[in-house]
Amino acid sequence: MAAVGPAETARAGWPAAPSRGLVVWIVALGAFALLWANAATLAPWAQEWPRAWTPRIAFSISAFMRWLVDEATSGLFTFTEFTRFLSALVEAPYRFVLAILSTGLLSGQGSQAVQIAPPVSWAGIIGVFVIAAHAADGRRLALLAIACLGFILVFGQWDSAMVTLASIVVAVPAGAVGGLLLGLAAYRWRAFERAISPVLDLMQTIPIFAYLVPILFLFGFGPVAAILATIIYAMPPMTRIAVVALRGVAPEIRDLGRMTGCTPRQMTWRVMVPAAMPGLMVGVNQVIMLSLNMVIIASMIGAGGLGFDVLSALRRLDFGAGLEAGVAIVALAVLLDRTSQAFAKTTVQRAHADGAGFATRHPYLLAALAVVVASFLAGLVLPPLARWPEAWELSTGTFWSELVRWINVNFFDELEAVKNALLLNVLIPFKRFLLGLPWLGVALLAGVAGWTLSGFRLAALSVALSTLIAVSGLWEEAMTTVYLCGLSVVFALMIGVPIGVWSADRPRVWRVVQAVIDTLQTLPSFVYLMPVVMLFRVGDFTAMIAIVAYALAPAIRYTAHGLHQVDPKLIEAGRAAGCTPFQLLVKIRLKLALPEIMLGVNQTIMLALSMLVITALVGTRDLGQEVYIALTKADTGRGIVAGLAVAFIAIIADRLIAAGAARARARLGLSGQGGS
């Protein structure tokens, strides 16, 4: 029991549970079978919730929204004025960054605006990034910066990329700092953690389309609303990871802080946060990746930039142009991520090198300023240095469209055969099976699972949330969602976990894998979705390919990260005790990495659910489609109800997995003694 904390033991239940659990399961499955067989005739309401009993929740939410926008007032100012004030707070820094990167300083508005000062030229911006990269990590990173920005420039994506960069520059720090603060609060107060956990789930799992309409109503149209939606979406992983990272700080370090008489503030910022930095940087990485992932959706509500280019290229079926804009997004992601990671490492080191940081950073700052001024002056003499001439731009032209055409013409029948086999033998039977289940039975089973894994509270939660979904009248859509995301998560884990294990202790492989999953996570799914539609037609199969491609990343990343974190001393001890490499992997490394891997499973599910918005675009009939319909009808209530149904599924899955993980840990902790 030594390895397991008291809280986890309590949640996991005592070792006697399995026999009790077995009885419960037999009873429950029996009841379920009875219900399944007879519900349709004896109690139709248990099979399908009657339409007439469905309360008009959606209508009430829409009415509330109208009241909030039109009438709500605090006496001094209306609610809308308040939210508009908030959006002005976000807009000011955004306009400033945009002026530097793209528009230049303008006086006046619209087409009558006059440019007072030009934006920093491409040469200046590349110069600054290269200097920053060099300051952070030397020549290799500087070369990477040149490669990434050079690609964007030469392929004619510069203007759009700067618009996108401006919104990222505002959204990422806000998301990372906000997430860290929430994480610190959750770390310090358990009650706060318990309160915020469902909110985080909601933020991450309610499809963005569901809250887009209220955000537009409240915060106005344009880039600000898009930035706010991005922050809401990108912040939760930061908070979660911050909590895990802070918990993971070695007790000796904490004791040291206490012994040297740190105040709580010093303890937080001088001891805990620096010590947790490697873990926190995983969170920052996620914030950057998710922010860039929002680029497409943000462009739908007026953010412009690269996302808009992707969308309009694909509407013309110009795959090459879509891919170029998509890869430009990836290039931005890679550059920002690597640079911020490198900076985090150097600041940690400098903190140890007692404050020499400022003096060493000074020349870089000066150099950056010099580059900006020099590039401006040079641009006056040599216009191509200020604006890359259109004639020098490269393009892949029709190459990608031709490639897709070639595959389509030559291999369509083979691909169709594979697809049909999977569809007819796996997907459709599983879907029929799930759709045929009575809702009451499913709610019951979820409750039993919660009870045997954890206890009464989890059981009550599972039953309550499942029932709410049925009551909202969205059971069929919800089951379609479970089928689509469930199968996708299984596939993603089957592919992802082995890759994570394989690449964890092979640094060179890991670097390649990391590049691939970063690309998959930041390349807008839309870019490959349309070619996939050409080869596999619209429908569930295409949707599943998109979900697996996107949800694969956390399965790999967290597995590898968990294995990395295993204390080398324990592995050494295992080796000394004569473990084979396989035993070492299974009995020590995977076991100790389990909490991280479970976090990965959790994130895989969350990301799969967040892809519902995209799958709706290839014609699935799940909750995502419901949300999408609500968006196109600007129906706040309908969107939020469907969005909450998605979130409920996510919360049930999350809690059951967390409880299962706690149990597994408890059992593993015991297995050394008994082995049964």
Partner 1 sequence: MHIRTFSRLGRFTALTAAALSLGLGLAQAEPESNDPIKLTLHDWTGQLITTNLMAEVLKKAGYNVELVQADYLAQFAGLETGDLHVAMEMWETTGREAMDAATATGKVENIGPTGMKAKEEWWYPSYMKDKCPGLPDWEALKSDACAEAFSTAETAPKGRYLGGPVTWGGFDDERVEALDLPFEVIHAGTDAALFAELESAYQRQAPILLWVYAPHWAPAKYEGEWVEFPEYTAECYTDPKWGSNPDMAYDCGKPFGEIWKVGWAGVKDKWPGAYDAIKAFTIDNDQMGAMITEVDLDGKTVDAVVADWMGRNEAVWSAWIK
Chain positions 395 to 454 lying near partner 1, rule: CB under 8 A, are 395, 405, 408-409, 412, 416, 420, 423-424
295-334 binders of partner 1 (CB under 8 A): 299-304, 308-309, 311-317, 321
We find the least distance from the C-beta atom of residue 234 to partner 1, in angstroms, to be 20
Site string for partner 1, 32-71 (x = CB under 8 A): ----------------------------------------
Token pair 């897709």 is found at 404
Please give the Cα distance from 129 to 618 (Å, whole number): 38
Binding-site member from 222, 248, 357, 486 for partner 1 (CB under 8 A)? 222
Binding-site member from 18, 173, 539, 660 for partner 1 (CB under 8 A)? 539
Please give the Cα distance from 499 to 557 (Å, whole number): 9
What is the DSSP track for 465-495?
HHHHHHHTT-HHHHHHHHHHHHHHHHHHHHH
Q: Which C-beta is closer to partner 1: that of 84 or that of 350?
A: 84
Q: Is there binding between residue 632 and partner 1 (CB under 8 A)? A: yes
How many Cβ atoms from other residues are within 10 Å of residue 504's Cβ? Answer: 22
Q: Which C-beta is closer to partner 1: that of 415 or that of 584?
A: 415
Three-state secondary structure string covering 350-379: HHHCCCCHHHHHHHHHHHHHHHHHHHHHHH
Burial class of residue 583 (count of CB atoms within 10 Å of its CB; 0-12, 13-18, 19+) = middle
We find the least distance from the C-beta atom of residue 516 to partner 1, in angstroms, to be 25
Stretch that binds partner 1, among 326-334, 556-564, 594-602, 628-636 (CB under 8 A): 628-636
Q: Which C-beta is closer to partner 1: that of 322 or that of 441?
A: 322
Tokens coding 512: 């390649």
> 466: closest CA among 151, 49, 103, 62?
49
Q: Is there binding between residue 154 and partner 1 (CB under 8 A)? A: no
Binding-site member from 27, 37, 113, 380 for partner 1 (CB under 8 A)? 113
3-state secondary structure of 620: coil
We find the least distance from the C-beta atom of residue 227 to partner 1, in angstroms, to be 15
| Helix residue spans in 48-189 (DSSP H) | 57-70, 79-98, 122-137, 139-154, 158-188
Tokens coding 339: 């640079």
Phi/psi region, residue 4 (left: phi>0; alpha: psi -120 to 50; beta: rest), is beta
Binding-site member from 169, 585, 618, 651 for partner 1 (CB under 8 A)? 618
Q: Is there binding between residue 533 and partner 1 (CB under 8 A)? A: yes
We find the least distance from the C-beta atom of residue 152 to partner 1, in angstroms, to be 12
Tokens coding 522: 């930041």
Burial class of residue 676 (count of CB atoms within 10 Å of its CB; 0-12, 13-18, 19+) = exposed
How many residues interact with partner 1 (rule CB under 8 A)? Answer: 73
Stretch that binds partner 1, among 10-18, 218-226, 268-276, 335-343 (CB under 8 A): 218-226
Binding-site member from 102, 230, 503, 522 for partner 1 (CB under 8 A)? 102
Binding-site member from 58, 334, 616, 649 for partner 1 (CB under 8 A)? 616
Binding-site member from 163, 513, 593, 598 for partner 1 (CB under 8 A)? 163
Please give the Cα distance from 491 to 544 (Å, whole number): 9
Q: How far is CA 46 from CA 74, 415, 442, 642, in A?
A: 45, 41, 10, 21
Binding-site member from 531, 554, 595, 669 for partner 1 (CB under 8 A)? 531
Q: Which C-beta is closer to partner 1: that of 163 or that of 385?
A: 163
358-387 binders of partner 1 (CB under 8 A): none
